[in-house]
Amino acid sequence: MIGNYNDLIDQYDEETILLTPNRRLAAVLQQIYQAHQVEKNLSVWKTPEIMPINLWLNQLWKALNTHPTETLPILLNSLQENYLWEKVVKIATENTPLLQLSETAHAAKAAWGLMQQWDISLDHPSFETTSDYFTFKKIALLFTEFCESNHWVDNISFINLLIKNNRLISSPKKIILVGFTEVSPKIKNLLEAFETQGSSIQYFTLNNNHATSYQFAAADKDVELLTLARYAKDIHEQYPLAKQGYVIPELDKIRDRVQQVFTAVFENEDHFNISAGKSLTHYPIIYSALLLLKLNPSATPLDTFAHLLHTPFIGEAEYEKTARTHLHLQLRKNNFSVINLSTLILNMPHCPLLAKRLTTFLNLQKSQPEYQSHAAWMQQFMQLLTLLGWPGERSINSPEYQVAEQLITLFENLNALDHIDERVTYFSALHSLEKAASKILFQPKTPDAPIQILGLLEALALPFDYLWIANRDDLSWPEQPKPNPFIPKILQRELNMPRSNASRELEYCKAITEQFKLAATQMIFSYAVKKGDLALKASPLIRDLPPISLSLTNYESIEEKMLRSKHIEWYVDAKAPAITSTEKIQGGTHIIKSQALCPFRAFAEWRLHAHDMDEPSLGLRGKDRGQLLHKSLELFWNTHHNQENLLHLSSESLMNALYQCIQEAIKESNIKNNYPKKYIQLEIKRLQQLLLEWLEIEKKREPFSVIKHEKKVQVKLDQLTFDARIDRIDLLENGKKLIIDYKTGKYNSIQSWFSDRPEEPQLPLYALTDTTQTIGITFAELTPGNIGFKGLSQYDLNIEGIKLFSEWSTQLTQWQTILTQISADFYRGAAQVDPKETPSTCLWCTLKPLCRIQEECEIT
Ligand code: SF4
């Protein structure tokens, strides 16, 4: 049968049942039926038998179950089936554990479904031909064994029982299948069984007699999407009641982009509906709930804990917002990459309400048995979330409410897993919850809209006034064959199974294209002429269609509109207010360094306090190692004072002395508690070796005394006084001083002290603190494999790496002038975005989003 749906509904009578491939088409036919009844002036009518085929199969199963002579197996629901597949995959592959267990279980279930639909037996010899097929056979046999021994039946195999017991079910007089492109052999068998019982089976295909189809070529995919959104808006403005459909293949993957483009074009979200639901786990309210349940008392990763600190879906999130943010920053600063919650709770004085919630949460978690039923775990999950105050103190909006309801329903549905496994652990139950949530594609209910954006298969056979199908290029349509990896390919080809071979795909896609061509009054198939560097053409399936030329209303993005509607005044804002006497400036000599590198950077860092967050790492960070080294050397020289004492130490005494100093440094730094003992011992050994090598170099110098270590000084430059801490000052034999700066990183260069904008102004600045006595400055580089001095001196000190610099006095005067100017610039508010060198100065700077340098030039 072929025609439009009005004709179909006109012929419908109470002895007919209409079956559709999906819920959406059934709903459309129901609506048409209702409209017909209203036209007939009826106020009440019997609900018509119009339903998706899956619902009908379930109704047949229920009917068979009520038959007194039959004892049927229990039909597994999809949650139970997924769980059972995962369980059998785990058992079947226990000798070669899989990395992606759930994904394999999902693929095995899909293969099993196809096999059942196409009546393939596991006994077929081709299942022995490769290890993948054989493994699948093993898994599938285990699955059937479980089902048989427990008297269960899965969601496809139960059709066999419907066919076998068909005579026990009353058969409808007429069955009409609407909108099916193809029907599997298994369903055909069932329909034939009904036919032998006297039912008439018919197929109905939509045919809109006035359908006209076109092709449209867009410059690229972005233009294609924007054009179809603009077209939708134009049509909607001309014909507000017209039903429009926009079919975007793989809609689930680009849903957010599609939403963004349509919202921008329509300037609101009221006129269109996007059908692709999102996985439940992608909704923040559910994501947070699952993450909260994963809190591990002894080892919660910082990222998980950080989410807890910032999520709004937890008790007192607003009230303690600032304190929780500070706690997060503190944890990062102290390099906590993994959190022991029980210990942390004792150290959260500023977040007392969170600490209280966590305490009760952990107590309840601790008091549970190791194994219990899914039902008991689900109840406990709910309790745990309640203890943490989920879903938060603010009122949630309607979509959030609907999504939260889904989770609560899921808690109830997962009780059904107790039929399969009676007792499981906390994390096993949580895994089932998470997996089940990830498989639910949910879309909060929104009011009906005249414009529908859909995926390819759900749009099939739906009636529209205007329909647009995107992505019809020669690379994408017909689709590439994609045989199921677990079913022997030879079998799939022989039986002409879905996606099994190219000619089948061609025929199938042809049929779909023809079906679409009849579905709307105006139909456009579009494609992009390029994808990256690849040139594309129209799919061969649409090449015979005439091209359409669209004259659409001009489109301007909101940004363009704003720009056009306003008179633009340019204001170069490169100067901040000068520093006032009440403004407290901290940052020491780092300020001069930042100002020299980029004035905006200095302004943002030291006046706006825009600093990057610390990045925790599993071991000690570079800066922690640097601090340990500085402290250890300070302690060493505080005890041994000069080179003479160093030379008098035997190797053993030196080793012991270093060991003591490092131990003491670790104790003072408080890092001991954060790392395993073994790790700390390794760090001590590493540092001891490094310092030993360093002191060998010190032994070879002319005699010296270390007169200052970590000396605090103040340097006045122009209006500002900077606090500084000089790593070390050595008194030399000639009574003069050498300033030393320890460096634990490589690539320190003397060149960085020169130019009008010195990149490392620290040592030149220290030199200015005592110009009469200081005769040299030097880096002391202590990196494994890279140890030595790098410096300059007025006199030849006979130290490798320290060069004689005869213009020392002139240079001191120059540094005074340059550094004073830099300080004055900072003081007066010079804040222009002016990196010393682009892109190298900006490469590791974290202020890019603030200064927006990337709008000027590309920095990768
Ligand atoms: S990214 Fe470059 S321009 Fe921007 S603040 Fe940092 S150094 Fe200056």
Residue 375 pLDDT greater than 80, yes or no: yes
Confidence of residue 355 (pLDDT cuts 50, 70, 90): very high
Residue 440 pLDDT greater than 90, yes or no: yes
pLDDT computed for residue 70 by the predictor? 65
Structure tokens at 338: 């993994």
Residue 672 pLDDT greater than 70, yes or no: no
Buried b (16+ CB within 10 A) or exposed e, 816-844: bebbbbbbebbbeebbebbbbeeeebbee
Confidence of residue 859 (pLDDT cuts 50, 70, 90): low
Closest residue by Cα to atom 5, ligand 1, is: 601
- Are 819 and 592 in contact by the 8 Å Cβ rule? The answer is yes
**What percentage of residues in the chain have a pLDDT greater than 90?**
75
For 230-245, write each residue's pLDDT tens digit: 999 999 999 999 999 9
Place of tokens 């008297």: 151
Confidence of residue 453 (pLDDT cuts 50, 70, 90): very high
Residue 699 pLDDT greater than 90, yes or no: yes
Is the Cβ atom of 831 under 6 angstroms away from ligand 1? no
What's the mean pLDDT in 201-210? 85
DSSP state of 548: -
- Nearby residues of 267 by Cβ (< 8 Å), 6 or more positions away: 558
267-276, 662-671, 687-696, 810-819: the lowest-pLDDT one: 267-276
Is the Cβ atom of 851 under 6 angstroms away from ligand 1? yes
What's the mean pLDDT in 403-428? 94
CA distance 336 to 617: 8
CA distance 500 to 477: 15
For 734-775, write each residue's pLDDT tens digit: 999 999 999 998 889 999 999 999 999 999 999 999 999 999
pLDDT computed for residue 786 by the predictor? 87
For 21-32, write each residue's pLDDT tens digit: 999 999 999 999
Residue 670 pLDDT greater than 80, yes or no: no
Is the Cβ atom of 853 under 6 angstroms away from ligand 1? yes
Residue 54 pLDDT greater than 90, yes or no: yes
Residue 377 pLDDT greater than 70, yes or no: yes
Centre of ligand 1 to C-alpha 846, Å, is: 8
What's the mean pLDDT in 194-212? 88
Residue 444 pLDDT greater than 70, yes or no: yes
Centre of ligand 1 to C-alpha 853, Å, is: 7
DSSP state of 252: H
Is the Cβ atom of 600 under 6 angstroms away from ligand 1? yes
Task: Calculate the average pLDDT of the chain.
Answer: 92
CA distance 574 to 832: 4
Question: What are the φ and ψ backbone dihedral angles of 34, each rounded to 5 degrees?
Answer: -60, -45
Within 10 angstroms of residue 368's Cβ, the number of other Cβ atoms is 15
> Which 3-state string (H, E, C) describes 56-86?
HHHHHHHHHHCCCCCCCCEECCHHHHHHHHH
Centre of ligand 1 to C-alpha 839, Å, is: 9
For 508-525, write each residue's pLDDT tens digit: 999 999 989 888 889 999
The H or E element containing residue 338 is: strand 338-339
Question: What are the φ and ψ backbone dihedral angles of 120, each rounded to 5 degrees?
Answer: -100, 140
pLDDT computed for residue 11 by the predictor? 84
Residue 567 pLDDT greater than 90, yes or no: no
CA distance 249 to 246: 10
CA distance 738 to 798: 13
pLDDT computed for residue 860 by the predictor? 62
What's the mean pLDDT in 355-382? 94
314-323, 441-450, 604-613, 813-822: the lowest-pLDDT one: 441-450
DSSP of 742-765: EE-SS---GGGG-SSS-S--HHHH
What's the mean pLDDT in 702-722? 92
DSSP state of 841: T
Centre of ligand 1 to C-alpha 781, Å, is: 27
Residue length of the chain: 860
Structure tokens at 519: 């579905």
What's the mean pLDDT in 165-188? 91
Structure tokens at 266: 């329509």
**What percentage of residues in the chain have a pLDDT greater than 70?**
99
Give the torsion sign (CA, 813, 819, 820, 825): positive
DSSP state of 11: H
**CA-based end-to-end distance of the chain:** 61
Entry pTM: 0.80
CA distance 853 to 834: 9
User: Residue 51's closest CA among 18, 24, 7, 28?
Assistant: 18
Half-sphere exposure for 525 (CA within 13 Å, toward CB): 28
- Are 276 and 364 in contact by the 8 Å Cβ rule? The answer is no
- Are 265 and 367 in contact by the 8 Å Cβ rule? The answer is no
Half-sphere exposure for 559 (CA within 13 Å, toward CB): 0
Closest residue by Cα to atom 7, ligand 1, is: 842
pLDDT computed for residue 477 by the predictor? 94
- Are 495 and 118 in contact by the 8 Å Cβ rule? The answer is yes
Residue 53 pLDDT greater than 70, yes or no: yes
